[in-house]
Chains A and B, each alone.
Chain A
Amino acid sequence: MIFQIPFWPIDSLSLLMAIIIGSIAFLVFIYSFAHIKFKFVYYYLALSITVLALFGTVFAKDLLTFYIFLEMMSAGTYFLIIHNGVETSFRAGYKYILCMLIGGLFVLTSGLLLYNYTGTFDLSIIKQVAPTLTSQQIAIFFSLFSIGCLIKIGAVPFHIWLPDAHPAAPSPISALLSGVTIKIGAYGIIRMLFILGLLSWNLSLITVGVASMLFGVILALLQTNLKKLLAYHSISQMGYILLGIGIGSEIGLAGGLFHVLNHAVFKALLFLCIGSIIYVTQKRELHDLGGLGKVMPITFITFTVGALAIAGIPPFNGFASKAMLSASVYNNLWLKLAIIFTAAGTFASFLKIFRFAFLGELPKTLKNIKDAPIFMLFPTIVLAGACLGIGIFSAPIISTLIAPAIKHIIIFDFWNMRTLIDTLLTVFLGTSIYILGLKTGFLKTEKEKQAPSFMNYLSLDRMCVSAAQFINRSFEELNRIHTRSLNTHLLWIFLTLVVLIAGLWFAWI
């Protein structure tokens, strides 16, 4: 067994990820100076370990190292999620860490299987010997590895931890979680596709991607909690990335990778803006808010930038990557429809936030609030600038950052009729979904007491939680019936002896 921890000579893919991690983490640190009010040592220690482990995962040269840093990252993030010390964050953190451990164990198993096949964990050696593996071995390995990564990403159907963990964490941590941490899974899948040379149309990844897109956006439309809404958008945006990876063409892969960068920027921006709102108003439900555009002008502007970027409106960065993704599926009508619908739904749900959080009437309790402190505004301004900058200069960024990472030269024309029609269609459809939703009461702003309905029983989250509760309850029952009688315990000893002798006796015969 090897115990040392080797690192890649930095290549472009690692570099791209490292740039994303470094910049978002830096801004998160700055934001935290104003946002975090207690348990400083605890918070910054856990944050540092998490960021360190994030860097470790992208620079890891072998699978074992990747796994080690993945687990460190999960453990660090767990302590960040429970930083608030309230019951909901404990529950979310508990779910998070167990899901992450399951995902990690999938990655570990795949790594150990590969070690069995090839005798090494080293990815550069595996790349050389990959053609000698049988297709069955590769299929088993890659499916285990990608399930592990998909759990880390929070893609449907492994998303159960994500909508709980994001709202429970402190806002800068939500930004880090959504902006960077879940990208590590995508990084792992891209890296492994390159290593194994599997870059082609991958139906299962596309299915997971499309399911995440649609599922995420539909549930996001239904949410009334600001952070939960953004969390579901994370699922749907990660669906885009998986779709791009699954298509496997150069444009699709470049689009997916570009969306990794763009999503990190605009989702971090959105979470930080929402964080400012929560920091100032102490409220996170849509129906408690309203009219914030007047009292929090800078947050309003930066949030607008982020919302336009996530909806794919030019000239912001979301537009560029979504245009590439929709170009890559041009010959497939169903995928095209899914992309358009997701973009429209995203647009509609942000219209909802605008209407009920920033426009409208300011509640009386919030009369004398001011915009967030400078330490919290600065990162959002920087990120908003980045959204605009990446959107405008997308071609040079693709050629300097993305193209080397996938080792292909990408030439893409962002401004043509097709992309413009897409955009207009998105805006039109989104507005109509919004209006239709308001008329039919589909888009709620107030949280209702959910009656146990049939849909509730179909919920994956509920199933997993009930399975876990069942295990817990059955062990509690075991504990209850576990006898405490000394004579019975002695009986067990001698019964074991008898059973052993008898069993081995007959086994021998």
Chain B
Amino acid sequence: MNHAPILIITIPLFGAFLTHLTKYTKIKRGAELVAFICLLLSLLLLLSMGSSILSGEKITYNLGGWRAPLGISLQVDGLSFFFAALTLGIGLAITTYSLGIYIFARRYYSLLLIALSGILGIVLTRDIFNLYVFFEIVAVASYVLISYKHKPRTIKASFKYLIMAESSWVLFLLAIAILYGLTGTLNMDSIAHQMPTIYQADPKIVIVIFSLMLVAFGIKCGMFPMHTWIPEAHSQAPTPVSGLLSGLILKAGLYAMLRIFFLFWGATLFMLSIETVLLYLGLATLLLGAGMALAQNEVKKLLAYSSINQIGFILVGIGIGTELGLTGALFHILNHSIIKTGLFFCAGIIVSQTGFWKISQLRGVSKAMLSMTIAFILLSLAVIGIPPFNGFVSKLLIITATIQTQKYWVAVILFFGILLSAAYYFKVIQSFFAKDEFVTNRDFTPRPVGRFEHVTVYVLVLACLVIGLFPDLLRNMVTLAAKVVLQ
């Protein structure tokens, strides 16, 4: 039996405990080394399954040898592979970026590894209770990571995230309980198998389950009325953690939506018009995120609202529900992870170097930090969707899907969202180039931009450009994932 699926999750988890033990060795930067090696090993294991996954196979692993309805099973299919690859890729970027900032911070790397292995668990498991537990692992790790620096505002943001996320996550447990009461199983495939009979017997209970789950996943991915934790948590967290939150933790919520909604209600989806709900909520998310971003005067808050804006785009893509729309949404998940992680890194460097976080204070910063300004500009062009960057490709796919399904008014709102995102990003860009004499904060001793930060940011920029120029490289993986969703 191929043990790769479980090893992908457990290697980083094991590494998380190992980082603390490096205290007793003579290796200089043991924690970083362990984190890096564990993620790399996981990635290699994942890629070793790559060729068979991309040919359409599904690799199932039963924990302890117990078969599906009784035991917990892990499954690697196109969608899981896509998200796992994304998680490990961005995770490696975050680790590399952290190398220059958090030196000898064993606790930090340990928490980072726990969070990443939790996300890997989320995307690989087929057991719905297991999903719940893995989400909680990620959540606990991220609460601690957000408040890692014990500043007054970070603790408040972390507490807010905790209360909001947990109070809605209880609802997910309730949904699991109802599902278990109805079906007597926790395996997703078995539940999906029984879902049509449940729906025929009592559609109302299905409505309740769906609503509970939508609220729970909605808060994880920052859907419209539940978005309020995002701006504070993202802007207050340490820079690499902002990248983690925006790049991966929001995406884990989207993964759960894609997996569970389409698996459970794929057949009955149109009767309940679940897609329409997602579409409307997506549009509301998009407009609110874009509009609020326009009104922000802090760089990191603007980026946080921009995340909400882009999540709205993805939700619209999911809400359209055709294969093209889902391909676009999945592609945008990938692109947004890369771009937004890069943007948070750039903004983090600029903010921490200068000690200013308001846009008006950062006027003319291009003179002081040219390379970071260039990276910021390229990444923001990518997120607006200006060719030849990657954001363009995924937005094009989503818009094409709306036009193909003849939802022209949705396309108009999407265009408005793009224009608003251009409006707020160009606002930042032009203030970076202002001619005002840029005065650095005298109380703050600037630290030179480390090579690790530089390398990470430019690798991400390069990835944007390469994916934008040659989107066919990833076409197989993304379309396969979309097909898996629609099965």
Contact = CB atoms under 8 A, between A and B. Distances in A.
Interface in B434-483: 434-435, 470-472, 475
B215 A475 contact: no
A478 B387 contact: no
Nearest to A508: B203
Contacts of B397: 1
B292 A478 contact: yes
Nearest to B271: A508
Contacts of B89: none
B294 A116 contact: no
Given A479-B296, A505-B204, A500 B168 contact: no
Contacts of A475: 291-292, 294-295
B292 A504 contact: no
A115 B163 CA distance: 48
A509 to B, nearest CB: 9
A398 B108 CA distance: 72
Size bracket, chain B contacts: 35 or more
Nearest to B402: A112
A507 interface: yes
Contacts of B426: 78, 93-94, 97-98
The residue among B171, B214, B295 with the most chain A CB atoms within 10 A of its own CB is: B295
B132 interface: no
A139 interface: no
B318 interface: no
Contacts of B294: 471-472, 475-476
User: Interface of chain B, helix or strand or loop or mixed?
Assistant: helix
A142 B434 CA distance: 40
A508 B272 contact: yes
A64 to B, nearest CB: 8
A441 interface: no
Nearest to A87: B434
A98 B226 contact: no
Contacts of B164: 486, 489-490, 493
Interface in B376-405: 381, 386-388, 392-393, 396-397, 399-400, 403-404
Contacts of A71: 386-387, 392
A162 B470 CA distance: 34
A198 interface: no
B158 to A, nearest CB: 12
The residue among B228, B296, B472 with the most chain A CB atoms within 10 A of its own CB is: B228
A482 interface: yes
Interface in A353-372: none
Contacts of A86: 435
Contacts of B101: none
Given A478-B295, A500-B211, A492 B225 contact: yes
B208 interface: yes
B471 A493 contact: no
Interface in B398-433: 399-400, 403-404, 411, 415, 418-419, 422-423, 426-427, 430, 433
Interface in A23-73: 64, 67-69, 71-72
A40 to B, nearest CB: 13
B83 interface: no
B400 A115 contact: yes
B286 interface: no
B401 to A, nearest CB: 10
A219 B212 CA distance: 62
A504 B273 CA distance: 9
Given A98-B422, A98-B423, A109-B403, A501 B211 contact: yes
B331 to A, nearest CB: 10
Nearest to A479: B295
B163 A497 contact: no
Interface string B80-101: 0000000000000000000000
Interface string A138-162: 0000000000000000000000000
Contact of A102 (B171, B212, B225, B419): B419
A456 interface: no
A116 B472 contact: no
A480 B208 CA distance: 34
A486 B386 contact: no
B210 interface: yes
A112 B211 contact: no
A109 B407 CA distance: 12
A472 B420 CA distance: 9
Contact of B277 (A82, A492, A504): A504
A90 B434 contact: yes
A327 interface: no
A108 interface: yes
Contacts of A505: 204, 207
Interface string A91-110: 00110011001100100110
A153 to B, nearest CB: 20
A495 B211 CA distance: 11
A84 B411 CA distance: 36
A79 B470 CA distance: 25
B160 interface: yes
Contacts of A500: 210-211, 214-215, 277
B403 A112 contact: yes
B219 A493 contact: yes
Given A98-B422, A496-B218, A497-B215, A68 B292 contact: no
A75 interface: yes
Nearest to B405: A116
A109 B412 CA distance: 9
Contacts of A113: 403
A328 B419 CA distance: 41
A108 B160 CA distance: 42
B419 A112 contact: no
B277 A94 contact: no
A3 interface: yes
A348 B272 CA distance: 70
B17 to A, nearest CB: 34
A470 to B, nearest CB: 12
A429 B324 CA distance: 61
B194 interface: no
B211 A492 contact: no
A492 B288 CA distance: 15
Contacts of A64: 396
A504 B225 CA distance: 17
B217 to A, nearest CB: 12
A85 interface: yes
A216 B301 CA distance: 43
A-B pairs, top 3 by smallest CB distance, nearest first, are A479-B295, A475-B291, A500-B211
Interface of B: 160, 163-164, 167-168, 171, 203-204, 207-208, 210-212, 214-215, 218-219, 225-226, 228-229, 272-273, 277, 291-292, 294-296, 324, 381, 386-388, 392-393, 396-397, 399-400, 403-404, 411, 415, 418-419, 422-423, 426-427, 430, 433-435, 470-472, 475
14 contacts: A1-B396, A3-B475, A4-B472, A68-B387, A72-B387, A94-B426, A98-B422, A102-B419, A109-B403, A478-B295, A493-B226, A500-B210, A504-B207, A504-B272
